[in-house]
Structure 1
Amino acid sequence: MKFIGHDSDIINYLVNDLSLLNAVIKNFKKHEVEGSPAISILFELAYTEADVMLIFRDVFTNGFETNPVGGEYQIDSCKFYHIGSKIYFSADPDESEDGVNGISEDDNDFILCQSVEGYLFEAGTEDNH
């Protein structure tokens, strides 16, 4: 497991082969970190043999109505922004012309939180110690 950044750093890191596009959600967990609400999501990336875990901390709003694990929840489109002092992620965003930029009331499966941190799990790294 490798720490790959937090907040804007992690948003900018998740491009090219490490993109969340076409990733599958393998694990979704609501929990607490240091007494504050948190959500951890483990993504199986589509373009590399790696998984990425994002931990959304100090969650203000959890817009996931159901746990996305259990079926094949693939991310066809997403929003992942640093808006002011908050982080916004939607795994099923409004793609209309009005909703494409920023937060839309028609976004689904979203999280609004204070911060996010990311970890990379690369295949085979456990064997290279």
Structure 2
Amino acid sequence: MVVCTLLCVLFFSCNSINAQNNYTNISAEELAETLSKETIQLIDVRTPQEFSQGHIETSVNIDFLSENFNKNIDVLDKTKPVYVYCKSGRRSAKSTEAFKSAGFNKIYNLYGGFLNWNGKKYKIVK
């Protein structure tokens, strides 16, 4: 009972933190489902070298570590949701603050990043 209560508290705490940051973590399955139904703004925030080694089809590479990151995301459509990912989900989670500051209201972060996507054997392109 104590373990269940603790897990529930942790789960809801994590979701609250994400809500404060104005982004939602989504699973690889949820992203695959969304991609099968609609065209989305899918941003890979990894380096160009990482991107060239394989990426999710239709994603656009905007390097979070680039000095032009904020300028590059500013040209995206802020009225539409944006989906972001990196290698493991940490850089993309950090990048959501820049998306929020740029005026995006709906930001989705691929939980576990490209490693999770690739591990589930979803399609990648090189």
Say yes or no: TM over 0.5: no
Q: Which has the higher strand share?
A: 1
Q: Which has the higher helix share?
A: 2
